[in-house]
Amino acid sequence: MSDISIHCLGASQEVGRSAFLLKTDKCLLLDYGIKIFGKDGKAEYPLTIPEKLDAALISHAHMDHVGFVPYLYNSSNVRWYATPPTIDLAELLWKDSMKIMGAELPYSFAQYKKALNMWNPIHYGQPFAMGETQVLASDAGHISGSAILELTYKKKKIVYSGDYKMEETRMHAGAKPVEDADAVIVDCTYALKEHPDRKTAERLLMDEIEETISEGGTALLPAFSLGRTQELISLVRAYNDEIPVFVDGMGKAITDIYIKHGKYMKDVNTFRKNVKDVTMVRSPFDKKRATSEPAVIITSAGMVEGGPVLGYLMNVNSDSKVMFTGYTVEGTNGWKLINEGYVTINGQDLEVDLPVSKHDLSAHAGRSDVLNFIKHANPSKVIIVHTDSGKEFERELKEDFGYDAVAPKVGDKIEL
Ligand SMILES: [Zn+2]
Ligand SMILES: [Zn+2]
């Protein structure tokens, strides 16, 4: 028996439901998320936790990392740890899941309330101990409050990257690499794909937006409410402070939380000013105005599964264009719109006769940054997670780079 083990309860050879059990002198859960669009379009949950937990550590507030935390509280009294933005964002997103999924969700309102009470704050750069295990969080550069977690036990350092981005974005300065780890559990979403140059991608999107608007249309940007909406507000305003911008969906409330936790972004003053310069859609009148003039509309849902975007899609004029900037899961409306030109609403297929484009503005590390992250950590073990192409990357890391790498399956246990 070794001193440390990692048990993969999700996000292994898949994206979604991140959950890893790290055993040192303590039994620590790293993330506890759900996979919103799993098999047959149904939500999927992590494997059952096989033993008593001492604590849960949550990297950030995306639902694939925090979405299942209330489920811990059917009987357990375990504490969970995350940064202050993460609790505020999680509260909003859990409430929204309860509203959308209702009785389908395997936790109750009482469990949600208890989860809110069992939160403990962690802060970047302030290490703390759980038994003999040291925990240190640092900025992951992915969304507000996102953290890379370093866990040290008996002089061995395990790094859990969560979702991270090293490159600077409009909202975040980017994560710093972690030096000298013994093992890394690393987000490899884009390990096989290089992102295009960020500035070029931004300019391309702006050119399309400006062209659409000059032709009298709406630039309709379906966007995830957490992270992408705020990045797009900043991006559009960085290039153009004149075109009307409307923001709709849960991104509005999330933007308020971003401002409340202003020190978790690069430049809260500029962001605050940018937010003042866009219209948050608060009424039917605002909604009508958004489509009655050439404008940018940034709205959820990012995959066009519900949210105000469906209404806009039906109401924009024929000179309009739909511009995607995020990931779409196969089979969702977003994916169907990009690949087949239709959406399904209430069981009915509706053709959408608008041009659609796709832009890469990812908030995850691209290939060279994944390799960089691993190179800096220089670990004796690389655990590849949060990707569909883990096996291919495992082979490459072993054969071309000489690392002891593994892309585990859900349920696998790794001894360190
Ligand atoms: Zn994320
Ligand atoms: Zn994720």
- Tens-digit pLDDT profile for residues 130-168: 999 999 999 999 999 999 999 999 999 999 999 999 999
Q: How far is the CA of 286 from the centre of ligand 1 (A)?
A: 30
State in Å: Cα 346 to ligand 2 middle: 28
Give the tokens for residue 14. Answer: 């898949």
| CA–centroid distance, residue 240 to ligand 2 (Å) | 31
Ligand 2 centre to CA of 329 (Å) is 13
- 51, exposed or middle or buried, with CB in 10 Å at 0-12, 13-18, 19+? exposed
Ligand nearest to the CA of 17: 2
Q: Which ligand is nearest to the Cα of residue 224, counting in written order? A: 1
Distance from the alpha carbon of residue 255 to the mean position of ligand 1, in angstroms: 16
pLDDT < 70 stretches in the chain: 1
How much distance in Å is there from the Cα of 100 to the middle of ligand 1?
20
Tracing tokens 């239709």 back to the chain, one arrives at 342
- Cα(175) to centroid(ligand 1), Å: 14
Distance in Å, CA 167 to ligand 1 centroid: 15
Q: Quote the tokens at residue 257.
A: 């939380």
Strand partners, 25: none
Residue matched to tokens 């705020």: 230
CA pseudo-torsion sign 371, 373, 378, 380: negative
Please tell me the distance between residue 201's alpha carbon and the centre of ligand 1 in angstroms: 20
Q: What is the DSSP string of 340-366?
A: HSEEEETTEEEE--S-EEE----SS--
**Ligand 2 center–CA 347 separation, angstroms:** 29
- How many residues does the structure list for the chain? 416
From the CA of 386, the nearest ligand is 2
In terms of C-beta density within 10 A (0-12 exposed, 13-18 middle, 19 or more buried), how is residue 412 classed?
A: middle
102 CA distance to ligand 2 middle (Å)? 23
415 C-alpha vs ligand 1 centroid, how far in Å?
Answer: 26
- Model pTM score: 0.97
Residue 143: nearest ligand to its CA?
1
Core vs surface per residue 22-37: b (16+ CB within 10 A) or e: bbbebbbbbbbbbbbb
Minimum-distance ligand to the CA of 165? 1
The residue with tokens 């779409």 is 328
pLDDT of residue 141: 98
Question: CA 217 to CA 211: how far, in whole Å?
Answer: 9
For the CA of 140, the nearest ligand = 1
Tokens at residue 41, please? 């379009």
**Interatomic CA distance for residues 135 and 159, integer angstroms:** 10
CA 183 to ligand 2 centroid distance, Å: 20
Structural domains of the chain ordered from first start:
5-193+363-415 (3.60.15.10), 198-358 (3.40.50.10890)
Ligand nearest to the CA of 387: 2
Q: Report whether 158 contacts 182 (CB < 8 A).
A: yes
Amino acid at 330: E
CB atoms within 10 A of CB 195: 18
> How many other C-beta atoms lie within 10 A of the C-beta of residue 357?
15
Residues near 3 by beta carbon (within 8 Å), at least 6 away in sequence: 24, 153, 154, 156, 416
Q: Is 179 helix (H, G, I), strand (E, B) or coil?
A: coil
The tens digit of pLDDT for each residue in 335-365 reads: 999 999 999 999 999 999 999 999 999 999 9
Q: What is the pLDDT of residue 127?
A: 98
